Amino acid sequence: MSSFNVNVEEAAYLKLMLHAAKYPWAAVNGFLLGEEGLTGQVSVKDAVPLFHTSTLAPLLETSAVMVDAHAARSGLCIVGFYQANQCLDDNAPGALATEVMNKIDSTHAGPSVLVVISNKRLETAGDSAVSAYGRDSNNSFRKHVEVEVAAEAVKAFESALADKTEGRLVDMDEHLDDVQKDWRNPGIASA
């Protein structure tokens, strides 16, 4: 595996962390959006929360098409996937994440990243609660990748939690139940 670093920008960090905070009893997941063509670095600019219930293949495929089109309009592409597991102490990449990453890797030329949210560290103030994984020599997501989350992003998340912003976050599950709810979450990054 070639070595690379991951930079998670504030908007992306807010959305993925608020998704996990909104559904602390459930496994959650989503796509990570970034720019194509950066060598040695994956810059995650945005996150799209997908599911907090069982992830069904047809809904995931439909969501991928919608998110890919949205990303292209924004000059971005899908560069990875994030997950928070249901169990508090489970911080390992899951089978679903691995399958989704296989699909992302088959369509994305640059490095891609799998981000796992630590539910246990979710409540720890002042500390990033994410780990990043890249492929190892066996093509498995086991190797930790250097991940950078700005202190301002962590503070913004703490402030958003204090303001109960997670209640406003909409994932694809909610959008599919009520299409009036905007899965792109345009107001979250400015929360």
Residue 35, pLDDT score: 86
Residue type, 69: A
Q: Where do we find the tokens 């069904």? A: 56
User: H-helix or E-strand containing 132?
Assistant: strand 130-135
Residue type, 132: A
The Cα 113–Cα 59 span in angstroms is 22
Residue 1, pLDDT score: 46
The tens-digit pLDDT sequence of the chain (191 residues) is 456 789 999 999 999 999 999 999 999 999 999 986 656 788 999 999 999 988 888 899 999 999 999 999 999 999 999 999 988 777 888 889 989 999 998 888 788 899 999 877 776 656 788 988 887 667 776 667 888 998 899 999 999 999 999 999 999 999 999 999 999 999 897 54
For the chain, what is the mean pLDDT?
88
**Tokens at residue 145, please?**
């990748």
Yes or no: is domain 5-177 CATH 3.40.50.2300? Answer: no
The Cα 58–Cα 147 span in angstroms is 31
The Cα 154–Cα 36 span in angstroms is 25
Alpha helices in 6-143 (DSSP H): 10-22, 57-73, 95-107
Residue 191, pLDDT score: 44
Residue 146, pLDDT score: 84
Residue 147 CB: number of other CB atoms within 10 A?
18
Domain extents in the chain: 5-177
